Structure 1
Amino acid sequence: MKYVMLAYGTQADWDQGVDYQREHPEEEFGPAQAFAQELIESGEFVYAGGLADPSHTQTVELREGVPVVTDGPYLEAKEFLVSFGIVDVAGHDRAVEIAALMSQAFGRVELRPLDDDGGAAG
């Protein structure tokens, strides 16, 4: 089963991650490098990606058929999406284990089964 894991953080978390990657440019996955390498070796890793600085965020929605673009994340939000990963695992329990490991590096992690696998968490 494939799952997407969405990691959220605050501006302080973001700033800390930028500093970490500046100090450790050899680590493609930043603080989760060792953890990501284990998933690659086990064959469970599908994809991971960090998002650009949230100041580059735009929200697009249709209003009366016209696209309206709003710059930046919502100011009232304390947390925002900072990265995501996709794993392909034997079952839900393993996905939860991986999300727990990921949360050690990224804080709160949202775990969702991908719909192409039927969307069932079993």
Structure 2
Amino acid sequence: MKTPGMARQRLLLVEDDPGNRMTLSMLLEDEGFTVVTADSFACATQLLGDAPRYDAVLLDSRLGDGDGLSLIPLVRCRLPAAKLVLVTGWQEEAGRCERVDAVFQKGRHFDELLACLARLLPPRS
């Protein structure tokens, strides 16, 4: 099932859990997104420093080697037009994130993430 207008949207997925990263990446690619993954705070920092072009960043709030929330200013600086979705399993973090465009709670259905991305990203022709 392809999401209309979402094809060729380029996403950066920052997720340190290998299973979550692989599953989410595959599901998003099946929907027509181009997905680049970062498995750590350090990897995300490097990818964001390489003059990237991403339409959206899906950011895990807690990474094994750093606080994902600390990446928010870097994302906003390097990718001012990109949409930023905080992906978290921690309800209390949703309230302290003013500079994100959306919060997606881990464990929710994938279709809800697709609906969120459809609301945030302009359709591509």
Quick check: TM above 0.5? no
TM-score class normalised by the smaller sequence: under 0.3
Bigger relative contact order (CA 8 A; separation at least 6): 1
Query: With structure 2 as the length reference, what TM-score do the two structures score?
Result: 0.27
Whichever structure has more strand as a proportion of its residues is 1
Q: Which has the larger radius of gyration?
A: 1
